[in-house]
Chain A
C-alpha cells in the first residue's frame, strides 16, 4: 500500500512544527500504524533530541568538476559557456570552478571536447536513520556547516526514509517557503500548516498557502498557542476555504516540557488526547484527498 505522506510546515519559524511532528508521530505509532518520522530541517535538525535514537550514518556527496587534466586549447570557453550558473570561469586561460555556485549538473564535463574535466565527489552532509525508543523509525539529514546544498541533503533524507516502507510518513519541514521547504513538500499527500494568532503568524501562513497551492497540495491548519495573540486565523481560513484541523492551547506547561526535551504526549495530562484527535481529524481528510494527487 502506498505510504501516506504528511508534511508539517509553517512560514514563520518557531510556531511549533517539530512539536507537532514529533508528538503526532508517537500518537500515530500508538494507533498501531508503522510510522517514519523524517526531519527535513537539515540546517538545524532537532527531532532526534526528543528520542533515544540509535542511528546509522550515510554521507551525502555531490559531484564537482575538477581539472583541467591537460592543456586547454587556446581561447576555448566550451565549459564556461555550457554552465548556466556561472560556476566555471576561464581565468589565466584555465577553467576555475566555484563550488558554491555549482549545481552538479555535469554539463561542463559533457561540453568539454578535449576531455579535460572530470567529476569528483565532495561531501555536503549526511543522513542518519534508525529506530527510536518509541518503536518507530526516525530518518534525519544534516547539512555540513559552510555548505549550501540543503535541497540535495533533503532529497537524500527523503529517499532514505522511503526505504522504510512505513504506512505513515511524517515530514518535519524547515521553516519558510524557499528552496528547502519546496524540496521537503513537493509530492506529499497533505500539508499541515502550523500557525499562531499573531500578525507574523498570519502573514507567513499566507505565503505558505500560496506555496501549497502552487504545489497542488491539499492543506489544513493547526493553530498553536491558541488563546494568545489577537489575530483571527479562523476568519482567514474560512475566507480561503482551508480547514482548521486542530488547535493547541497556549499553555506554559507545554513550553516547559518541550524545553526539557520531553514529548507532550508522554508528559502532559491532555497531550495524548490532543494528538490522537488531531490524527482523527487529519486521517479521513488525507485519504479523501489522495486519489486527486497524481502518482509520480
Chain B
C-alpha cells in the first residue's frame, strides 16, 4: 500500500520529522517495494495558518492511504478524518524503521 511519512530529509535513513503540518518533507512510500517519492512541504511550512489542513490535502492528493507522523494538532486530525486517512505514531524513529514497524502492526493510532 501507499503511505506518507513525515521526514526531516529526503531518504529512508532520515528521521521522522517532529511536526506534521510543517514537516520538511513527506516521503510517499510503497510499503511492498519500498519505492518512494520525495515531496517538499515548503508551502505549508511557510504558511501562517492552516498548515495542518494543507498537509492533509497534499498527501490525500498523492493517494496516501495512511500517514506516519509524530503527533497531530486538532485541525490536522479533523482533516484526516474527512479524508479517511488513518494516522500512526512514529515520532523518534527513522523513516525506514517507522515503515518496518508499521508493516509489523506495531505502531499505535494517533487518532483513534
Task: Give A residues with C-beta under 8 Å from B.
Answer: 80, 85-87, 89-92, 96, 98, 100-101
Q: Indicate if the CB atoms of A87 and B50 lie closer than 8 Å.
A: yes
B61-77 to A contact mask, C-beta < 8 Å, 1/0: 10000000000000100
Q: Which of B47, B61, B82 contacts A96 (CB 8 A)?
A: B82
Given the interface pairs A90-B57, A91-B57, A92-B60, the reply to whether A101 lies near B83 with Cβ below 8 Å is: no
Q: Could you list 9 A-B pairs, sorted by A, with CB under 8 Å?
A: A87-B50, A89-B54, A89-B57, A91-B56, A92-B83, A96-B82, A98-B75, A101-B49, A101-B50
CB of A91 within 8 A of CB of B49, answer no
The answer to whether B47 and A91 have CB atoms under 8 Å apart is no
Q: Are B49 and A86 in contact (CB under 8 A)?
A: yes
In the complex, the number of residue pairs spanning A and B with C-beta atoms less than 8 Å apart equals 36
Q: Is B99 an interface residue (CB 8 A)?
A: no
CA distance A98 to B49 in the complex (A): 11
User: Quick check: B60 and A91 within 8 Å, CB to CB?
Assistant: yes
Decide yes or no whether B6 CB sits under 8 A from chain A: no
Q: Complex Cα distance A296/B2, Å?
A: 57
Of A80, A90, A98, chain B has the most CB atoms within 10 Å of the CB of A98
In the complex the two chains form, is A85's CB within 8 Å of B82's CB? no
Q: Say whether B107 faces chain A, with CB atoms less than 8 Å apart.
A: no
Residues of B within 8 A of A (CB): 47, 49-50, 53-54, 56-57, 60-61, 75, 79, 82-84
Shortest C-beta distance, B103 to chain A (Å), equals 25
Apart from A89-B79, A101-B50, what 9 extra A-B contacts exist at CB < 8 Å?
A85-B50, A86-B54, A89-B54, A91-B57, A91-B83, A92-B83, A96-B79, A98-B75, A98-B79
B104 to chain A, nearest CB (A): 29
Report the separation of the CA atoms of residues A98 and B83 in the bound assembly, to the nearest whole angstrom.
Answer: 13
Q: Which of A85, A86, A90 is most buried by chain B, counting CB atoms within 10 A of its CB?
A: A86
Checking B49, B60, B83 against A85 with a beta-carbon cut-off of 8 angstroms, the contacting residue is B49
Give Cα distance in the complex from A91 to B79, angstroms: 8
Q: Which residue of B lies closest to A87 (CB)?
A: B50
Q: Are B54 and A91 in contact (CB under 8 A)?
A: no
B82 contacts across to A, CB distance below 8 A: 91-92, 96
Point out which of A89, A98, A100, A101 has the most chain B C-beta atoms below 10 A from its C-beta: A89
Instruction: Determine the distance from Cα of A86 to Cα of B53 in the docked complex, in whole angstroms.
Output: 8
Q: Which of A85, A90, A91, A100 has the most CB of B within 10 A?
A: A91
Partner of A89, one of B47, B53, B84: B53
| Docked CA distance A100–B57 (Å) | 17
Q: Which 8 A-B pairs have the closest CB atoms?
A: A86-B50, A89-B57, A91-B83, A101-B50, A91-B60, A91-B82, A96-B82, A86-B54
Point out the residue from B47, B61, B83 that lies within 8 Å of A86, measured CB to CB. B47
Contacts of B84 in A (CB 8 A): 92
